[in-house]
Amino acid sequence: MRLKLLLPGEMSDNQRQTYEESIAGKRGKPPAPMMAWLSSPDMARHATRLGEVLRFDTVFPAKLSEIVILVTARHWTAHYEWYAHKRLALQGGMKPEIIEAIRDRRTPEFDDPKAKMIYDVAKSLHEGHGLDLGLYDEAVNVLGERGLVEVIGLCGYYTLVSMTLNTFEFGLPEGEVSELS
In a domain, 40, yes or no: yes
- From the CB of residue 101, how many other CB atoms can be counted at a distance below 10 Å? 18
Mean pLDDT confidence for 58-76: 97
Contacts of 111-115 spanning 24+ positions with Cβ under 8 A = 112/64, 113/142, 114/60, 114/64, 114/142, 114/143, 114/147, 115/63, 115/64, 115/67
| 38 and 112, same domain (yes or no) | no
Note whether 75 and 153 are same-domain residues: yes
Instruction: Give pLDDT, residue 29.
Output: 85
pLDDT digits (tens, 9 = 90+) for 15-62: 999 999 998 888 888 888 999 999 999 999 999 999 999 999 999 999
Sign of torsion over alpha carbons 17, 18, 23, 26: positive
The whole model's pTM is what? 0.94
Q: How many domains does the chain have?
A: 2
Q: Is residue 178 part of a domain?
A: no
Same domain, 42 and 113: no
Query: Domain check: are 133 and 72 in the same one?
Result: yes
CA–CA gap between residue 70 and residue 140 (Å, rounded)? 22
pLDDT-derived band at 93, boundaries 50, 70, 90? very high
The C-alpha atoms of residue 172 and residue 181 are separated, in whole angstroms, by 14
Range of the domain at 36: 13-57
Let me know whether 124 and 89 are in one domain: yes
Residue 110's contacts (CB-CB under 8 Å, 6 or more residues apart) are 98, 116, 119
CATH code for the domain of 151 = 1.20.1290.10
pLDDT of residue 1: 86
Q: What is the pLDDT of residues 112-171, one digit of tens each?
A: 999 999 999 999 999 999 999 999 999 999 999 999 999 999 999 999 999 999 999 999
Query: Do 47 and 132 fall into the same domain?
Result: no
Give the pLDDT band (50/70/90) at residue 66. very high
Closest C-alpha to 70, from 37, 111, 106, 33:
106
